[in-house]
Structure 1
Amino acid sequence: MAFILKLYLIWGLSMFALGLILLYPFFAIIIWSSNNKLLKATYYVNRLWAVFTYVMILVPVKRIRKTKLNNSEPYIFVSNHSSFLDIPAVQLIVNQFVIFLGKRSLATAPLFGWMFRNLHICVDRGNPEKTEEMFRKCLTKLEQGFSIGVFPEGTQNRTPPTLNKFKDGAFILAIRAQRPIVPVTIVSNWKIWPALAPRLSWSPLILVQHEPIPTKGMTLKDVAELRVKVKEVIETELKTRYPKEYNL
């Protein structure tokens, strides 16, 4: 069984990489164009990459949208995080291009790194000046009509489906921008492709896009309240689906 899981892991990583390689010229054209209208077209390339990956690893996708969003409006999408496949998963439920915040280490990855640092925004934790620069970049992108994607756990969760502590960055950004937060629950990626590969098992991918939570009128004093509210939305969905894991 362990041998089969390793083969499946190698196959999945290969398909993820193959999709990127095949679509890389399109990413490169978009990046070199420096055109915001063309940049929004990255959504279609990302969506194709995500569909290709999940089709090739034989995982069907179930999408649940609690409400219809205005796809011409920017939002801050906030999601739980337990798999390297979470970024493409979000692009399968969100019908617009999302600029993700990611660890600076992602920018150094072969092939993927150049694309990531030129399309998305890197986070340099522990450096106040870099953190403020990151916020300014995000605010600019939001003003230009782009949505931002954040995994507030900060890194892949090793104990899914329970959640790690949420960091404040996404909620500070939402309040500073006065833009709504849309919680997204990635229900089952932790079963398909968790951070710890030996637990890998086949499961359909279930994605839930929740109703937006407005932030207009909020101040930075409301960060903790907003963080708790968003976490409760995501966690309630997970508790409903995995009561045993939550000892309910």
Structure 2
Amino acid sequence: MIRILRKIHTFLYLGAVLLFFIPFYPCLYFFTKDPKKYFNQIVFCRKWISLFATTLVGIRFHVEYEDEENMDWSVPYVICPNHTSILDITALTYLCPQPFSFMGKVELLKNPVTGIFFRSIDIAVDRKSKISSFKAYKKADETLKEGKSLVIFPEGKIDDEYPPRMHEFKSGSFRLAIDNKVKILPVVIKDVWRILWDDGMKYGSRPGVVHIKILKPIDTETLTQEEFDELQRYVYDKMRTHWLQSNSI
């Protein structure tokens, strides 16, 4: 019975996303004709579509900071969250007050909702293709040079196993941060997988509060590309420590 209710909740959530996407679509259609000019407006639409949908089905977000006093949202970051759920996208739109782009898998282009954003302001990458990876890296580099933040899930995918665990990080986000002398912002999305794991099709979902911790930004100003391995390991270890404190799995 619980499994059935959770499945119903997932379909209610997906229906809510479409419910709010449809009235926003005419504006998005217009804005995406010139995404550079209307970048902020597209980000605004994405944020409120996702937040209206989660609110309607009883999913809320709580954010805490490791060092809130020194958090400066006026500068760009390479934002590195862990990844266990499609709700991670909404979590990032909730916590980040500045315009930003996602880098995500190329399959998101096929989704009727995410596709409009990945064809305009976000960056799709086919990790199996070296050419696609190179083009995505160049576009990400341009995004940071324009002064915008970039969200990259450094694990590269959602864990196939349940309960999930944090996988080793890929190097792209750290290379980009060092190349552009932009701070890394580690974000630990603690327990969203308990509310909705992956796309919700297997175990369903439920109402609840997603707890997010924003760790202290890490300066890359003095780092070189030779030091990216050390940076990558440091960020992984720090995020994994907070993850394990929140998840007894």
Establish whether TM, by shorter chain, passes 0.5: yes
Q: Where does residue 55 of structure 1 map in the other structure?
A: 55
2:199 is the counterpart of 1:188? no
Confirm or deny: 8 A CA contact 1:49 1:88 kept in the other structure.
Answer: no
Q: How many residues align?
A: 243
How far apart, CA to CA, are the structure 2 residues paired with 1:211 and 1:24? 36
Q: Where does residue 234 of structure 1 map in the other structure?
A: 239
Q: Where does residue 13 of structure 1 map in the other structure?
A: 14
1:39 Cα deviation after fit: 0.8
Q: What is the TM-score when the length of structure 2 is the normalising length?
A: 0.89
1:161 Cα deviation after fit: 4.8
Q: Where does residue 173 of structure 1 map in the other structure?
A: 176
How far apart, CA to CA, are the structure 2 residues paired with 1:113 and 1:43? 14
Percent identity reads: 26
Structure 2 residue ranges without an equivalent (≥5):
none
2:5 is the counterpart of 1:26? no
1:57 Cα deviation after fit: 1.4
The higher relative CO (CA closer than 8 Å, separation ≥ 6) is in 2
Confirm or deny: 8 A CA contact 1:180 1:212 kept in the other structure.
Answer: yes
Q: Where does residue 114 of structure 1 map in the other structure?
A: 116
How far apart, CA to CA, are the structure 2 residues paired with 1:153 and 1:147? 18
Residue 230 of structure 2 is aligned with which of 220, 225, 240?
Answer: 225
Per the alignment, do residues 30 and 71 of structure 1 end up closer, same or farther by CA in structure 2, a change over 3 Å counting?
farther
How far apart, CA to CA, are the structure 2 residues paired with 1:150 and 1:202? 26
How far apart, CA to CA, are the structure 2 residues paired with 1:6 and 1:155? 23
Q: Where does residue 213 of structure 1 map in the other structure?
A: 218
Per the alignment, do residues 7 and 184 of structure 1 end up closer, same or farther by CA in structure 2, a change over 3 Å counting?
same
Q: Where does residue 164 of structure 1 map in the other structure?
A: 167
How far apart, CA to CA, are the structure 1 residues paired with 2:168 and 2:42? 31
How far apart, CA to CA, are the structure 1 residues paired with 2:113 and 2:61? 27
2:135 is the counterpart of 1:133? yes
How far apart, CA to CA, are the structure 2 residues paired with 1:233 and 1:171? 15
Which range moves more in the overlay, 218-227 or 195-204? 195-204
Per the alignment, do residues 180 and 45 of structure 1 end up closer, same or farther by CA in structure 2, a change over 3 Å counting?
same
Per the alignment, do residues 48 and 201 of structure 1 end up closer, same or farther by CA in structure 2, a change over 3 Å counting?
closer
Q: Where does residue 153 of structure 1 map in the other structure?
A: 155
Q: Secondary structure at the match of 1:102?
A: strand
Confirm or deny: 8 A CA contact 1:91 1:97 kept in the other structure.
Answer: no
Per the alignment, do residues 51 and 34 of structure 1 end up closer, same or farther by CA in structure 2, a change over 3 Å counting?
closer
1:199 Cα deviation after fit: 6.1
Structure 1 residue ranges without an equivalent (≥5):
none
Confirm or deny: 8 A CA contact 1:161 1:238 kept in the other structure.
Answer: no
Q: Secondary structure at the match of 1:119?
A: coil
For residue 212 of structure 1, what is the amino acid of its counterpart?
Answer: P
Per the alignment, do residues 126 and 18 of structure 1 end up closer, same or farther by CA in structure 2, a change over 3 Å counting?
same
2:83 is the counterpart of 1:78? no
How far apart, CA to CA, are the structure 2 residues paired with 1:141 and 1:235? 28
For residue 5 of structure 1, what is the amino acid of its counterpart?
Answer: R
